[in-house]
Homo-oligomer: A and B are copies of this chain.
Amino acid sequence: MSRKLEKLYRRIQKLTGNIKSSEVSDVFTDIFSESTHFLNKFNRSDLASKIPNKKYFVFDTGRKISRAINADIYLPAIGDWLALVHAIHNNDRPRLSSEKINRAIYCLAISFCAAIDLTKSGDQKTPGTFFEYLIGHLFSARLGINPRTNLPVLNLDMNTTLPTDYVFDLGPNQAKFHLPIKTSTRERVIQVWAHQRVLDGVYGTGRFWGTPVILAETKTDSRKREVIEICLPEQWRIYQMHIAQLKRIYYLDVPAAYARLNEVFPPLCVKPFGDFFGEVDILISPLS
C-alpha cells in the first residue's frame, strides 16, 4: 500500500486500546481521503454482474484488479463520514439517513481494501483486521464503551476465560453485544452461530445479542471479469433454528439472497449496517 496509508494503518493499531476515541475517527478520516485519492489514479472497469439489480466495478492497474465494488453504494462523500462521527462523539442522533451512513462506511472500508488488493499479493489479513478495527470503532464509539475479547467462565470446578470476538457489556440489566466482524463469511459462518451458542450456554440465553457485521459476499472471477455472491441461505435458516439465535446480521453490501431471509421462517433480520445507528437505542433496552 502507499507509504502514507501504511503509516495511518499502523497508527490505528497503536490506538486500539481505546478504540472508541475520537482520535481513532480522525485517523479513519485520513484513511478515507488517502484511499479514495489513491484509487482515483486507476481506471474503473465494469464487471459482468451475475447478481440481479446490482452493478459492480473494479479498480484496474492494468496488471491487477481490486475486489468487486458495488457501483450504487460507492459514492465517496467524506462529508457524510465526518457528519456521522461528529454526531456519534457528541451523542447526537446522526441526522443522516441510514442509507448515507451505510454508504460512507462502505466507501471507507472498500476503498482501503481495494488499495490493499492493488498493492499487495494475497494479503487477506490486513483488510480483515482493518475492517474489524473500523466496525469495532464505530460500534464502541456509538455505545460509548470499549469492547473486550474474553470473558470469565465460572462453572463449579472450572475457572477459566473464554476468548471471544468483540463483546460489549453495558452494565447490569443492560444489553450486552456479541460482535463478530468479517469481510465475508462463506462456509465459516457457522462459527458465528456456534460462538453465540456458547455465550447463551455459559451466560444464559438472551444475555448477549449476536449482531455480526459483514462487508459483502461477492466473489470475483478475475479471468472472466464476472462477479457473483456466494450465499447459503438454507443453511443459515437451519443454523438460526438449531444452533442459536442471532439478533441482527448487518451488511455494508447486503447480499440479495440473504435479504430475502427477512420474509421467511425462522426470524433472521438481515439489514444494512447503516440501520444500526438509528435502532441501537431500541436494541439496548432489555426487553427489545
Contact of A243 among B157, B201, B237, B241 (CB under 8 A): B201
User: Given A190-B191, A191-B190, A191-B191, are A238 and B157 neighbors across the interface (CB < 8 Å)?
Assistant: no
A9 on interface, CB distance cutoff 8 Å = no
User: Given A194-B190, A197-B197, are A202 and B238 neighbors across the interface (CB < 8 Å)?
Assistant: yes
A198 proximity list for chain B (CB < 8 A): 190, 238-239, 242-243
Contact between A234 and B158, CB atoms less than 8 A apart: yes
Interface SS of chain A: helix
Contact between B190 and A157, CB atoms less than 8 A apart: no
How many copies of this chain?
2
Contact of A241 among B155, B237, B264 (CB under 8 A): B155
A158 proximity list for chain B (CB < 8 A): 234, 237-238, 265
- Taking A194-B194, A243-B243 as known contacts, 8 extra A-B pairs with beta carbons closer than 8 A to each other, sorted by chain A number, are A158-B237, A158-B238, A160-B238, A190-B195, A193-B194, A197-B243, A198-B243, A201-B242
**Chain A residues packing against B (C-beta within 8 Å):** 153, 155, 157-158, 160, 162-163, 188, 190-191, 193-195, 197-198, 200-202, 234-235, 237-239, 241-243, 264-265
